[in-house]
Amino acid sequence: MPKLDHVREELNEVFPQTSWVRGRSIAVLLPCYNEATSIADVVTDFRRALPAAQIYVYDNNSTDDTSGAANRAGAIVRTERHQGKGSVVRRMLADVDADIYVLADGDATYNPDAAGHLIDVLVTRNLDMVVGTRAPTEGAYRRGHQAGNRLFNLVIQHLFGPGFSDILSGYRVLSRRFAKSFPVATTGFEIETELSVHALDLKIATAEIPLRYGARLAGSHSKLRTYRDGLRIFGALLWLYKELKPLSFFGTLGISLTIAAFGISLPLARTYLETGLVPRLPTAILVTGMVQLGVLSFAIGLVLDAITRGRREAKRMRYLDLQSVAEKT
């Protein structure tokens, strides 16, 4: 089994000593699909970095020996039949009970030695999510992935506000009250986007810690499909925007329809003022329909906004019902 020594040399990071374990249970969650090449070393390294943690590997219909390799390395191995990383994360957060959750990947690109520092930041600052933002080493990103990540970060900041510089990072530490109040809706690689948007929507306390991001081991291949999954992430952003900010979404649609209708109607209005006639009746009907749709869209936005506010309050109350990490003794 190949080791991660070359990855550690590339990362070359030193993390401070920590004092957060006492009285707190920690779960390391590793969703995996065909990661037999690296999963044993990832489990071993997390075991060394977090000796008191329970390490869970959820096999998502792998066709290689991912489950066997993880089991031999000492992880608690479970299976999720619904395909997709989002489906696996939903199952993990539902099944596993802990005070602190470390969410990572089984592909050896993230540094397990950094987990203690991420947890330390979570506990000492009383946060609910800490994200290990990626500073890639040479060859870590495929062509176009960095540009796509920057694009999605800009879209998130425009739609939901600033707060994250790497929304697609899969290395995160979550508090129990964040994990148990997070209503997972996505099924694929959109899950990291949903985690970030959920934190922004509820204004949950978070932080980012820059970490080096290593290349995959030889024989390991990324499951992310650049264009297909990029479109899915973009679609998830639009869906989340519609769900969480319906007045802005439908209001923008309504205003756009109204402005377009006004532009189309100008020649008709000019002709009517000059002759008292409406010569292009189909165009007049189109303009009337567009204005009606615009008004209806704005009304729908108002109704859904009221519903969304109620849902947000319910999610916030569920989040507040759970004990924070700082309160754990």
Q: What is the pLDDT of residues 171-206, one digit of tens each?
A: 999 999 999 999 888 888 889 999 999 999 999 999
Q: Look at residue 328 in the predicted model and tell me its pLDDT.
A: 60
Range 127-140 average pLDDT:
79
CA–CA separation, 186 vs 194, rounded Å? Answer: 7
**Domain shared by 235 and 264, yes or no:** no
More confident residue, 31 or 269: 31
More confident residue, 63 or 147: 63
Take residue 254 and report the two structure tokens written for it. Answer: 């309504």
Q: pLDDT grade, residue 280 (50/70/90)?
A: confident
Residues 6+ apart with CB under 8 A from 99: 24, 25, 26, 175, 176, 325, 328
Say whether pLDDT at 29 is over 70: yes
**Domain shared by 236 and 254, yes or no:** no
Residue type, 99: D
Range 281-288 average pLDDT:
88
**Strands across the sheet containing 100-103:** 76-79, 54-59, 26-32, 100-103, 172-175, 129-136, 206-213
**Domain shared by 152 and 115, yes or no:** yes
Q: Does 328 map to a domain?
A: no
Take residue 123 and report the two structure tokens written for it. Answer: 């506990």
Residues 6+ apart with CB under 8 A from 82: 88, 91, 187
Report the domain count for the chain.
Answer: 2
**Domain shared by 184 and 229, yes or no:** yes
Q: pLDDT grade, residue 92 (50/70/90)?
A: very high
Take residue 66 and report the two structure tokens written for it. Answer: 């991912």
Q: pLDDT grade, residue 141 (50/70/90)?
A: low
Say whether pLDDT at 11 is over 60: no
**Domain shared by 211 and 252, yes or no:** no
CB 103 within 8 Å of CB 110: no
Q: pLDDT grade, residue 268 (50/70/90)?
A: confident
Q: Does 327 map to a domain?
A: no
Among residues 110, 108, 101, 90, the alpha carbon closest in space to that of 168 is found at 110
Q: pLDDT grade, residue 160 (50/70/90)?
A: very high
Range 292-317 average pLDDT:
94
Q: Look at residue 324 in the predicted model and tell me its pLDDT.
A: 73
Range 17-21 average pLDDT:
55
Lowest mean pLDDT among 35-39, 177-181, 225-229: 225-229
**Domain shared by 159 and 284, yes or no:** no
Say whether pLDDT at 283 is over 90: no
Domain boundary, last residue among 219, 243, 267: 243
Residue type, 39: I
Q: What percent of the chain has pLDDT over 70?
A: 84
CA–CA separation, 95 vs 99, rounded Å? Answer: 13
Range 153-169 average pLDDT:
90
**Domain shared by 47 and 110, yes or no:** yes
Burial-class residue 199 by CB neighbours within 10 Å (0-12, 13-18, 19+).
Answer: buried
Say whether pLDDT at 32 is over 60: yes
**Domain shared by 218 and 263, yes or no:** no
Range 287-309 average pLDDT:
95
Say whether pLDDT at 8 is over 90: no
- Domain with residue 134: its CATH number is 3.90.550.10
Q: Look at residue 150 in the predicted model and tell me its pLDDT.
A: 83
Q: pLDDT grade, residue 24 (50/70/90)?
A: confident
Q: Where are the alpha helices (DSSP H) in 161-280?
A: 176-180, 191-202, 226-244, 246-275
The range of the structural domain enclosing residue 257 comes to 245-321
Q: pLDDT grade, residue 281 (50/70/90)?
A: confident
Range 238-247 average pLDDT:
94
